[in-house]
Amino acid sequence: MKQAIIVGGGISGLATAWILREKAREQGIELGITLLEKENRLGGKIWSIKEDGYLCEWGPNGFLDSKPQTLDLCRDLKADSRLLRSNDNARKRFIFSGGILNRLPENGPSFLKSSLISWPGKIRLAMEPFIPQFRGEEDETLAAFGRRRLGEEALNKLIAPMVSGIFAGDPETMSLKSCFPRIAELESEYGGLIKAMIRLAKKKKAEVAAGKAVASAAGPAGVLTSFKGGIQDLTDILAAELGMTIIRSGEEVVKVSKGDSAPWRVITARGELHADAVLLATPAYASADFLEEAAPSVSAVLRQIPYATMTVVCFGYERNQINYDLNGFGYLSPKQEKLSTLGTLWDSSIFEGRAPKGKVLLRSMMGGACFPQYITLSDAEVESRVRADLEKTMGITAAPSFIRIFRHDKAIPQYTVGHGKRLEALSELLEKHPGLILTGNSYRGIGLNDCVAAANRGAEEAIEILK
Superfamily of structural domain 50-58+62-90+307-413: Protoporphyrinogen oxidase, mitochondrial; domain 2 (3.90.660.20)
What is the architecture of the domain spanning 2-46+230-305+415-466? 3-Layer(bba) Sandwich (3.50)
| pLDDT for the residue numbered 463 | 97
The share of the chain scoring above pLDDT 90, in percent, equals 87
The share of the chain scoring above pLDDT 70, in percent, equals 97
| Mean pLDDT on 305-332 | 96
| Mean pLDDT on 364-378 | 97
Contact in structure between 439 and 20 (CB atoms under 8 Å): no
| pLDDT for the residue numbered 111 | 85
Provide long-range contacts, Cβ within 8 A and 24+ apart, for 343-348: 343/96, 343/161, 343/164, 343/165, 344/389, 344/390, 344/393, 344/394, 345/61, 346/89, 347/55, 347/56, 347/57, 347/61, 347/314
Q: What is the pLDDT of residues 235-244, one digit of tens each?
A: 999 999 999 9
Q: Are domains 2-46+230-305+415-466 and 117-209 of this chain identical in fold?
A: no
**216 pLDDT band (50/70/90 cuts)?**
very low
**220 pLDDT band (50/70/90 cuts)?**
very low
**106 pLDDT above the threshold of 90:** no
**90 pLDDT band (50/70/90 cuts)?**
confident
**221 pLDDT band (50/70/90 cuts)?**
low
**54 pLDDT above the threshold of 50:** yes
The rounded distance, in Å, linking the Cα atoms of 258 and 84 is 45
Contact in structure between 379 and 405 (CB atoms under 8 Å): yes
DSSP codes, 392-457: HHH---SPPSEEEEEEEEEEEE--BTTHHHHHHHHHHHHTTSTTEEE-STTTS--SHHHHHHHHHH
| pTM given for the model | 0.93
**219 pLDDT above the threshold of 60:** no
| pLDDT for the residue numbered 152 | 97
Q: What is the pLDDT of residues 262-307, one digit of tens each?
A: 999 999 999 999 999 999 999 999 999 999 999 999 999 999 999 9
Rounded to the nearest integer, the mean pLDDT of the chain is 93
Residues forming beta bridges with residue 49, ordered by sequence position: 56
| pLDDT for the residue numbered 217 | 37
| pLDDT for the residue numbered 261 | 85
Q: What is the pLDDT of residues 162-213, one digit of tens each?
A: 999 999 999 999 999 999 999 999 999 999 998 998 888 887 776 556 554 4
List helix spans (H) across 168-264.
176-179, 181-190, 193-209, 232-242
Quick one: DSSP state of residue 189? H
| pLDDT for the residue numbered 211 | 52
| pLDDT for the residue numbered 208 | 55
**Cα angle 33, 36, 40; round to 5:** 135
Domain boundaries, the chain: 2-46+230-305+415-466, 50-58+62-90+307-413, 117-209
For CA atoms 332, 334, 338, 341, give the dihedral sign: positive
117-209 belongs to which CATH class?
A: mainly alpha
**256 pLDDT above the threshold of 80:** yes
